[in-house]
Amino acid sequence: MTAHTISRTTLVAVLVATTAALVARSWLQIQLIEDGMLPLVAEDLSYLVVPPILVLLLFPLWQNEQRFLKSQFRHKDLTWELALTAITIGVLIRLLWWSQLIARVSFGVNKSSDLEAIVGPTISFQCDSPGIVILGFIVMAILVPLVEEITHRGYVQTAFRHRGFLISVVTSTVIFVILHRFSSWPFVFLGGLILGTQYWLSNSLWASLITHATVNGLIQVDWRCMNTKWNPQSESIPLFLPGVISIAVAVLCVICLALLLRKIATGTDRLSR
């Protein structure tokens, strides 16, 4: 990991500016919804104010941090092998999410309270308008990963790196989780640990940024193009076959993730020689 030292003042400034930008985004999102905009579109459109607010509030800071930020995106650190590995990790994280969801439904942990809910499973694929889809991908697969990786891995994790791998990764992950929806905390925590480990092992933000962008991009496909319904009737639960298969897939995903993280560590060691 980089030898750059993040001062307490710098860390607080980054976190305060990030919080202020997100508060402004939330206010704008509420205003857009009240004006009749679709919630998902308002969520994406309102995020466009976050980067300029951060640039404005942290402009004096950037003058002293240019060398550090450039070191996080060195061209030589971005290889085809690293990019493909990071993309694969992102796909596995999303597959792990789907596996645990199928397992939860199969064993009755997740179930609909609507008696008229479609039993299914049914899957249809129909995207929103191109403009809405493009906006969603620009925001969620580009801007959000860039802002969050610089903030949480680049600054928070680097600020605590002197305390070792565990404390630095967990601390950055906890702060990362707090700034997300409460309902998503368990999986965001897992994702944060993986992203933090990638950053620690690869010595740059490329790996975690590409993985983060991949996960968010796949989420956009789910939200904007897929319509999935599966609400098994109570008397048919538990569904052992899909439940056991999904658990097996989840375990396989975890094993593959561990192997790929080890591959990143090996590749970094090789490049550093």
In this structure, the number of other CB atoms found within 10 A of the CB of residue 81 comes to: 10
Q: How many residues does the chain have?
A: 273
**Closest Cα partner for 152 from 118, 178, 117, 114?**
178
Q: Tokens 């950053």 identify what position?
A: 199
Cα–Cα–Cα angle for 143, 147, 153, nearest 5°? 135
Q: Which helix (H) or strand (E) holds 122?
A: strand 122-125
Q: What is the pLDDT at residue 1?
A: 47
Cα–Cα–Cα angle for 223, 228, 229, nearest 5°? 135
In this structure, the number of other CB atoms found within 10 A of the CB of residue 269 comes to: 10
Q: What is the pLDDT at residue 267?
A: 66
pLDDT under 50 in the chain at which residues? 1-2, 273
Q: What is the pLDDT at residue 265?
A: 81
Q: What is the pLDDT at residue 139?
A: 97
Measured CA distances, 263 to 11, 63, 89, 212, 268 (Å): 31, 35, 11, 18, 9
Domain boundaries, the chain: 76-272
CB 49 within 8 A of CB 21: yes
What is the spatial distance between Cα 239 and Cα 103, in angstroms, rounded to a whole number? 9
Partner residues linked to 125 by β-bridges: 226
Q: What is the pLDDT at residue 143?
A: 97
Q: What backbone phi and psi angles, to 5 degrees, belong to 40?
A: -65, -35
